[in-house]
Structure 1
Amino acid sequence: MTRETFSPDILQRLFVAVEEDDIVDQHATLPEIIHPHCTEENIQRCYALCLQFWEEGVARKDLLHLVLKQLKGTGLSEKERMQYKYIRARYKHLRFALRLYRKSHYSGLLFSKTTVFLGHFQDGFRNGNNDIIATYGKRLRIYLSLPVWALVHYSLRHSQLETASGFLAYCQAQLRTLQTLIAKPKLTGSEFHDMRKIISQQVSYYDTLRSLDPDNQDARSISRFLAAINGLMGDRHDEMVADDMEMRTPYEEPCALDSNIRERIEHFLAHYPL
């Protein structure tokens, strides 16, 4: 797969967009109609940018050093925690890209597991849970080993990308799933997490579009609107994880969805052609 290489300005725009993708802007609005069509050239450019964003921002040795330091019980400094956060953000953004733009709509077992483990490991040291730190730190030592890293990197560089019609069908199917989930009066932790993944994936798409074309005001508006939903859901998910770790409320106990989140998602779905 031949790939376009992007300038530092474009990469910086994507970094800023990803940093903003959980900021709750109370005044964010949507265009009257969302046009989800994407050309195959745009699919290729979006994927290439996301892959370059990951490659230039993630060094295996640096990430492994952070994991091993936390595993030893030394703890990460504030600067190191920010470094870890930025690395994990690049993993998450590329995982969304793999699901959106790959023909299989699958991020691959090894890359997906690494991203998940990075999240659990972060939850562990944020909440001071040494059992979780130990469990996922040991797994990350394996997944960040040189042979696994080389295999993952090869797979990322040899992805078969989706067609324009396949991309549209995938996005519509994802949002129909969102429509089904939001119709439920109560959601389990897994269902809530599934909803958030769909929203986060859409945020990542519009983040990438606005980075490639800063004059695309519709992409920016949709990105900001979805980021508000993503931020609200992220805050709620952090509460659910903490409650589960502290054995206050089981993660899978069904709960009503916050009305603010529900109304925003319904508003987005009303503008999206399904």
Structure 2
Amino acid sequence: MTNNTWEKFPEDTIELLFTAVEEDDNVDEHTSLPDVIDLRCPHENIYQNYALCLQFWRDGFTREELLGLVEKFIKNPDLPQAVRMRYKYIRARYKHLRFAQRLYSKKHQSFGLFNTTTVVLGHFQDAFRNGNQKNLKYYGAILRILLSKPIWSLVSYAMSHFELETESGFIAYRQSQIRTLGTLINHSQLTGEEFHDVRKIVSQQVSFYDTLRSINPGNQQAYEMSRFLAAINGIMGDQHDVMVADKLSGGSMYDEATALEPDLRLRLEQLLAHYPL
């Protein structure tokens, strides 16, 4: 099944999703898992979730605006905080839709050019955050191509035309992700790459519950899952930023195996113990 037209949500729903995504790195000391994690998600919900993520991306900015921001940073990486936040929010919309493609599509993959754009947007952000002029120019040049009109049109079409996963397939996919998470944290120490893999799984899971709670604000389980996963994401995000900065300055932290922080490991183990597999 492919979809040419997708459901459109009111602005209030978009705002709820924006707030949820903005909280994805907030570490709440008192957050806890719901009593039961219900994995059911009817096909209608899968469709609605993707539709909201697509609208969140499409309506949040224009190609011209993003390209303009890239040009500004190439000329002057030390732009005001408001401009940096605008870039961050646009990139967050890309990341959220990439998670949606991986979650809800039959292939559980993001379209190649869209995925590449999302990755390069991240490298470009790391470059201006850390004052790396060489990387700024390099990734900026790639973004000029990826945000050109022909590629933009191709990507925009691909975001709307693909096959959605079934409910049983969606449950099986999420369970496989959590099993992979369990395998990764069975190691007493993780390399930077393994750490990144853990964070990718957690971020993808939190994106699902962020979307779910935005469509249905009364869904308490979705809210609790969103906040619990966001706390894990936040702890990992702080550590990941330090590792990236070290790597850009020529350090070896990213390649060395290190132990997870005790609080982080505890939260991950709680998730694994509670998740129905």
Could you say which TM-score interval applies, normalised by the shorter chain?
Answer: over 0.9
Partner of 1:238: 241
TM-score by length of 1: 0.98
Report if the CA contact (8 A) 1:66-1:76 is conserved.
no
Letter in 2 for 1:262: R
TM-score by length of 2: 0.97
Partner of 1:151: 154
Report if the CA contact (8 A) 1:187-1:255 is conserved.
yes
CA gap 1:49/1:118 in 2 versus in 1, 3 angstroms: same
Is 1:91–2:94 an aligned residue pair? yes
Report if the CA contact (8 A) 2:77-2:128 is conserved.
no
Is 1:32–2:54 an aligned residue pair? no
Deviations 1:118-146 (A, max 9, x none): 10100110011111111111111110001
Deviations 1:73-131 (A, max 9, x none): 36422221111011001000000000000111111110001000010100110011111
| Aligned counterpart for 1:106 among listed residues 95, 99, 109 | 109
| Aligned counterpart for 1:254 among listed residues 245, 253, 257 | 257
Superposition pairs of residues 29-178 of structure 1, within 5 angstroms: 29-73=32-76, 75-178=78-181
Report if the CA contact (8 A) 1:187-1:257 is conserved.
yes
Is 1:213–2:220 an aligned residue pair? no
Q: Distance in 1 between matches of 2:108 and 2:77?
A: 39
| Aligned counterpart for 1:264 among listed residues 242, 245, 267 | 267
Partner of 1:193: 196
Letter in 1 for 2:159: L
Q: Distance in 2 between matches of 1:214 and 1:185?
A: 38
CA gap 1:110/1:255 in 2 versus in 1, 3 angstroms: same
Q: Secondary structure at the match of 2:29?
A: coil
Unaligned regions of 5+ residues in structure 2, if any? none
Report if the CA contact (8 A) 2:181-2:198 is conserved.
yes
Q: Distance in 2 between matches of 1:21 and 1:74?
A: 26
Partner of 1:13: 16
Calculate percent identity across the aligned residue pairs. Answer: 59
Letter in 2 for 1:207: D
Q: Distance in 2 between matches of 1:126 and 1:168?
A: 38
Note the aligned Cα RMSD (angstroms).
1.0
Report if the CA contact (8 A) 2:77-2:131 is conserved.
no
Q: Secondary structure at the match of 1:57?
A: coil
Partner of 1:204: 207
Q: Distance in 1 between matches of 2:230 and 2:239?
A: 14
Q: Distance in 1 between matches of 2:87 and 2:76?
A: 16
Deviations 1:136-189 (A, max 9, x none): 111111100010000000000112110000100100001100000000111111
Q: Secondary structure at the match of 1:99?
A: helix
Q: Distance in 1 between matches of 2:204 and 2:173?
A: 12
Report if the CA contact (8 A) 2:190-2:258 is conserved.
yes
Report if the CA contact (8 A) 1:69-1:75 is conserved.
no
